Structure 1
């Protein structure tokens, strides 16, 4: 019988935590304690353990561990050719009075943004976070993800590669305080384990917690057909295989095309935004393509509309790994001035189109902060995120919204941080001054 990996043990997790990581697991079995888990499942058939507040616990070192708030966690490993324990790691939480936290420069990239967000949340708490102590019996020093002023770890990662005589797979231990986004940490942890021990996590976890939320129209169409076919799977088996192949093809086209608006920056992002705006119904000029050698740079795009030849907007497109950089608003003001010098008037609209937090699942990206809205208003620009443009484009492409209504919606936005109005609030103005 074929088993699915990763095989995950959930130890001491509450139901909400269990449910949030289950979609990322091959198999997931829960228990109140490691002892209770070991009575029903073999450690040798466990790739990963996710634990909350383990106390006086000893587990085999062959298992990758993500642990929250360890009270006392002891992991052991054994020499492959000799009896007895070869080494051990002990983690414990300790009281702490240092409130100021930092993410070290050598924090692994895969955890950097999560660690930065967690450090900010912990800093806002009234109580100083507990630190994590570790024994000195390490093959190498653990990597600090978050540390206090005196460099005591609040969150850490440890990788063991020498399992004795060159035997065994590399193992990762990730120790964190309690987090409210366990699924995002677990997804990063699976990427981590996949990179060093792909037999434990054969394929990287999906980037999206709900992939169907970000299907293209082609993917939505195929998914609906697949659902119908499943009712009579035997009779329609050949059709099912055809559609699975088609889904892979359209997903690859989407990733290489329109979905670059969710993940890319630079020229790829500009190209994807140009395709989206054209699909909505704007006439779009790419100013870099029109620029002659030696000419100064202008904004990325200029927009006109079919029914109003006098209206014209300029658009600057930016991608960011983290938050939108408010300093870029200065560039928008410069482009507005250049347009005035060229045309004798300011553009009818200035769009600041951004793809912030582009490495994160679009469903969990934070809203623009107040500073972004203020910077946009000062520059007399409308700050709009590519995730909102994608939703509008999809509605137009799937004919849930007319091109005229979509253009009218965008043109009605006022300077500041704009988000797409919710369908529940028809009277809500397009501009969101609190974003």
Structure 2
């Protein structure tokens, strides 16, 4: 059967473009046999007379013989859900989901030319978008001839760009995000790929000088260098991101560790706070005895020793400020100690984590406005200690700013308020 007036191939329809897309159309015309721009309200098209569709957004038809290059919109094609009696039907539309992470991954199994194109043209565009974007939820294609190849995807496997053949729909779709504005390199890649699939419809690569068979030796060397440089740049970027992730993870682990150890000095009350104070003083070189652990009659929380020197220590944690009432309790503990041992302690310490639910930087002075009570407490070798100061002193010893001997001497020789670093 003879066919007359058949247009040269590939015969390409353009859909979804605006009236001012003349440059876009010119690019497609340059590499196609014939091109027709489908109007917004044009329906009388014989789709079987066309080979490919370049569509901005989702095309309004998806004949099985068509090859489609699609920029954004709902992905064309359907997948076989395997439930022929379902009220929704056996075939379902390929879905799009929101992706909230900024991380991206590429497909290492792509051919070299596509990998290079992705790295040079596609990744920079996607990385400029906001963290939330619409991506293709990878369909579970059922038919043997179907496939779904992610080109760029998030870490959950949902694709920003993909090449696929659906269970029902066009012969192949190359789907790109709508941020792609330079259609030329993607059209060249699509025609080159489709020429391998259907050489009668796409009789030759449109840019035959890009074919390595017809390149000079210098061009081939330069192309290989370009691809290698792109690969090296991508590996360097991935390595930098890996180092950043590992550094953030290490910082997060240390923060969580500090939250359960040193930072309890700034957040806790009751027994956890007592234990944190005891641990910090022990790190400074004091010998600390937990009196509550002995049971029996209620005594001071801790006895803190440095050689023959001893301090009785009461530890409190409050959502509000410290209380001068506590100073009287400490004095009673001291009197009990003197009766039991026949000696007076060298110091009496009132250790307080006050305003513990606030940012430590915004907390007020310990026993603010109670200077007369603090001075009276100092006359009896008393020291009111803000746990913020213990935290800061402990940190300075750990970092080598002060020695543990200097830290212990500073505490032993202080009376009144201890406000180290505040």
Give the TM-score normalised by structure 2: 0.42
- Please say which structure displays the higher CA radius of gyration: 2
